[in-house]
Every structure is written in C-alpha cells, then in structure tokens.
Amino acid sequence: MIVEILQEINASGIDYVSWKNNHLLESSLAGKRDVDLYVPANHRWQFNVILKQNFWIELDNKFIRYPWITHYYKLHSDGTVFHLHVYYKVVTGESRLKEYEFPWGKFFIDNREMNENRVWILNKEAQSYIYVVRHLLKGASYQSRKVYKRELASYDDEFALVDRNLSFENLNQPFDITKYIPKSGLLNNTIRLPSIFTALKFKCNLYLYRRKFIPLIWQRFLYLFYRVIKYLTACLRSLAFRSV
C-alpha cells in the first residue's frame, strides 16, 4: 500500500524522503506504525492531489498540531490502517514540542538513496547527522529529557542502523555539530542523554531557527491540557467499569 503510493509520487516527479525512524521502516510499510516522510513545500499541492485521488484521508490531532506537518491515513480491506506522517518543512526539536524549523530540505533531497523496497531514504551519513541534531535538541530541558529517556532503547536501534557513525568529513553539513560530539552521550555502544550544558549550548547556537516563542508556550499548554484530559478520561472509564 505505502510502497505503491510512494512509487506513484516518485513517478509524478515529486521529491520525498523517509528521513527518520528508518530502523522501523519495514514495520511502517506493513502498517504497524507511521512513515516519517519529508516532501518539499513546493510539491505540497501536487502531493495532496495524488493522495486524495488514491483515497488517503488527511487528519490531524485535535490538540497537538505543528506547522508544516500533517497525517494521511488509508484503511486496507484487511483492516490495516496505513499512516503517512508528512513534513513539508524540517520541523523537529524537543519531544512533543518540535520548536525548530530548519531550512534543510535541499540537504535531505541531495542526500537520499533508494533502499531495497524502492523507497527513498536518507543515506547513512545524513541520517546520522540528523540523528545527532535531534538527540541534542531532545536533551535540553527537564521535561524533554524525561520523555526521551523512556525512548532511548528505540533511539539506540536507530543509531545502530547508521553504524553509530559520528564522522561527517564527506558530508556538507548545514550546521557544524563536530564540537558537540564529545559530550553528546553517543560515544559508547549504548547511548546516554547528552550533557545538559552541551545540549543547552547547542540550542542557543540554533536560536535563529527557533519558531516564535509565544505560539510555543501555547502549544506546550495545549499538550499538557491534552494529557490531563486523557488521564481524567481514563480514570472515569476505569471507575465506570468497576461500578458495572
């Protein structure tokens, strides 16, 4: 299902690349999780037309929304729900916040390669570079570090996919990250959270790429509100079940 629509997209001259979580790509293509897809913003209209012609449905979370990011779903006859997590710009950052917007789309397209499933993915060096950027950004606040720590095992598998590469000598880096490597927590076989001071310094040096401050505060509030609502709903359902 997903491979077929990506082949049609590619044949239509639309650029795309699966840019993260490629260690889980086989599961994603089987409909067990989402595919993280970057599509250049100037291809957005044509991309939307093709997906809607193929009966994919565009949906977004009621509370948690990010600029330039959307979700497409399609239900297969066997009940499998396929999911495309589409980024029209390179938006990333802290877990649940994604407060940075990087002008690195050309870097993505220039550093992609087609894998054995005929899907465009970032090459290993570019994947590793983006991995380090995301790793440092997720380690710069208490709340983000707490969430990220619970997910380290999966991120370690993603790092293993790119052979734990931390050498970017042959890569035209959009932003030099070499000096942040020593205290990144990535030098051993198992990853650790980065030094908080290193992560904060990294974030400060990327300040120009940060999205507007006020919308970020509002988005964090909405996310906390969403979490509270989910928790209260679960409690009420549990009480209702016990009273039956």
| DSSP characters over 31-72 | TSS-EEEE--GGGHHHHHHHHHHTT-EEE--SS---TTEEEE
Instruction: Provide the CATH number for the domain around residue 145.
Output: 3.30.460
Distance CA 196, CA 186 (A): 14
User: Where in 60-179 does DSSP place strands (E)?
Assistant: 69-75, 81-87, 90-92, 100-102, 112-114, 120-122
pLDDT at 167: 87
Name the CA radius of gyration of the chain, rounded.
Answer: 19
Q: How many domains does the chain have?
A: 2
Crossing angle for the helix pair 152-161 and 124-137, to the nearest 10 degrees: 160
| 75 and 17 part of one domain | yes
| 219 and 173 part of one domain | no
| 200 and 237 part of one domain | no
| 206 and 244 part of one domain | no
Residue 73's DSSP bridge partners are: 57, 83
- pLDDT tens, the chain, 244 aa long: 899 999 999 999 999 999 999 999 999 999 999 999 999 999 999 999 999 999 999 987 655 567 789 999 999 989 999 999 999 999 988 766 788 899 999 999 999 999 999 999 999 999 999 999 999 999 988 878 888 888 888 899 999 998 898 988 889 999 999 999 999 999 987 799 999 999 999 999 998 898 765 455 555 556 555 556 665 666 666 665 555 4
| 202 and 98 part of one domain | yes
Contact status, residue 59 vs residue 42, Cβ threshold 8 Å:
no
| 131 and 242 part of one domain | no
- Report pTM: 0.84
| 189 and 200 part of one domain | yes
| 204 and 221 part of one domain | no
SS3 76: coil
Contact status, residue 100 vs residue 206, Cβ threshold 8 Å:
yes
Distance CA 69, CA 187 (A): 32
SS3 2: helix
| 106 and 197 part of one domain | yes
pLDDT at 13: 96
| 60 and 103 part of one domain | yes
| 6 and 34 part of one domain | yes
| 144 and 227 part of one domain | no
Contact status, residue 122 vs residue 107, Cβ threshold 8 Å:
no
Give residue 226's domain range. Answer: 213-244
